[in-house]
């Protein structure tokens, strides 16, 4: 099936700023033909050891398999990788969908040399059809090899479904004399209502923040942002907002003090 084309939204930006690299994060994308040919449909973010994670998810009682997978692993507060795909949401898929989510994580874990429980998953696209994890076989090894600190914008394109343009943003802050960088991506064009929606959003920072504090900041921050958005009044099953903090800026702080 060929990839459909759509005219860019009138709200699409005329240009995009260069997205900054986040110390401790590398990205790559691939086209595995989940639903359409000729477009990237999977992204991998590799996270350095020690990365903390926080998350907020759909309020739907019929959450997708990837959402349930993430909820179960969020308690550890640790993450080493994120896998997100477009084309298939792996929602309303029951035990089969859960099995495919686990299989996907196992493939990525083997390729990256980490544990499956350290991998977070997100899927967006058609519902009611189990994700075919076999499409990822032999692909994650390529994604691990190709991962680059400069790949965030390409990753934002890989998670698009009915979006007509990628959504990215970044910011910097000065904390204790050290620059901290924040950058993120999001997708979502329909089925958007308060309490998240058919939206995937991934935010990355090199700030040194513990998992508990990170979760508190995220839970508070969504109240006047993601949870205050509506497009068509529908809430989806796949809504996922994940915030990753590598803590790499703490190394810069120690280096700065050691040279003074």
Does this model's pTM top 0.75? My answer is yes
In the prediction, which pLDDT does 17 show? 84
Is 2 part of any domain? no
In the prediction, which pLDDT does 258 show? 43
Q: How far apart are CA 250 and CA 260, in angstroms?
A: 16
In the prediction, which pLDDT does 113 show? 98
In the prediction, which pLDDT does 3 show? 63
Q: How far apart are CA 94 and CA 92, in angstroms?
A: 6
In the prediction, which pLDDT does 14 show? 87
Is 17 part of any domain? no
Query: Per the residue annotation, which of 161, 198, 235, 240 is the catalytic one?
Result: 198
Q: How distant is the alpha carbon of residue 154 from its chain centre?
A: 12
240 belongs to the catalytic site: no
Is 92 part of any domain? yes
Overall number of domains in the chain: 1
Is 10 part of any domain? no
83 in Cβ contact with 120 (< 8 Å): yes
Is 3 part of any domain? no
Q: Which tokens sit at 194? A: 């308060």
Q: How far apart are CA 134 and CA 229, in angstroms?
A: 36
Is 197 part of any domain? yes
176 in Cβ contact with 253 (< 8 Å): yes
Is 12 part of any domain? no
The domain of 52 spans 25-258
Q: What burial class does residue 220 get, using C-beta atoms within 10 Å of its C-beta: 0-12 exposed, 13-18 middle, 19+ buried?
A: exposed
Print pLDDT tens along the chain (260 aa).
Answer: 656 656 777 878 888 889 999 999 999 999 999 998 889 999 999 999 999 999 999 888 889 999 999 999 999 999 999 999 999 999 999 999 999 999 999 999 999 999 999 999 999 988 899 999 999 999 999 999 999 999 999 999 999 988 888 999 999 998 777 789 999 999 976 555 545 445 899 999 999 999 999 999 999 998 888 877 766 666 778 889 999 999 999 876 554 454 44
CATH code for the domain of 85 = 3.60.70.12
Is 9 part of any domain? no
In the prediction, which pLDDT does 233 show? 65
Q: How far apart are CA 121 and CA 102, in angstroms?
A: 9
């Amino acid at each position: 099936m060929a990839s459909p084309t759509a005219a860019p939204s009138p709200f699409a930006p005329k240009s995009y700023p260069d997205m900054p690299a986040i110390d401790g994060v590398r990205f790559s994308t691939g086209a595995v033909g989940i639903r359409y040919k000729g477009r990237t449909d999977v992204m991998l973010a590799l996270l350095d050891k020690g990365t903390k994670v926080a998350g907020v998810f759909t309020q739907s009682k019929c959450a997708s398999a990837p959402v349930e997978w993430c909820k179960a692993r969020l308690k550890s507060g640790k993450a080493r990788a994120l896998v997100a795909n477009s084309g298939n949401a792996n929602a309303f898929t029951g035990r089969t969908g859960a099995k495919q989510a686990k299989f996907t994580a196992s493939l990525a874990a083997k390729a990256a040399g980490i544990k499956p429980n350290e991998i977070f998953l997100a899927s967006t696209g058609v519902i009611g059809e189990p994700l075919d994890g076999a499409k990822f076989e032999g692909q994650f090894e390529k994604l691990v090899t190709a991962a680059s600190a400069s790949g965030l914008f390409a990753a934002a394109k890989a998670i698009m479904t009915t979006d007509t343009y990628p959504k990215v943003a970044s910011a910097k802050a000065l904390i204790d004399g050290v620059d901290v960088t924040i950058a993120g991506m999001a997708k979502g064009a329909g089925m958007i209502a308060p309490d998240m929606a058919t939206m995937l959003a991934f935010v990355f920072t090199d700030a040194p923040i513990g998992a508990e504090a990170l979760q508190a900041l995220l839970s508070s921050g969504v109240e006047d942002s993601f949870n205050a958005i509506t497009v068509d009044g529908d809430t989806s099953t796949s809504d996922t907002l994940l915030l990753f903090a590598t803590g790499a800026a703490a190394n810069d702080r120690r280096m700065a003090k050691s040279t003074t």
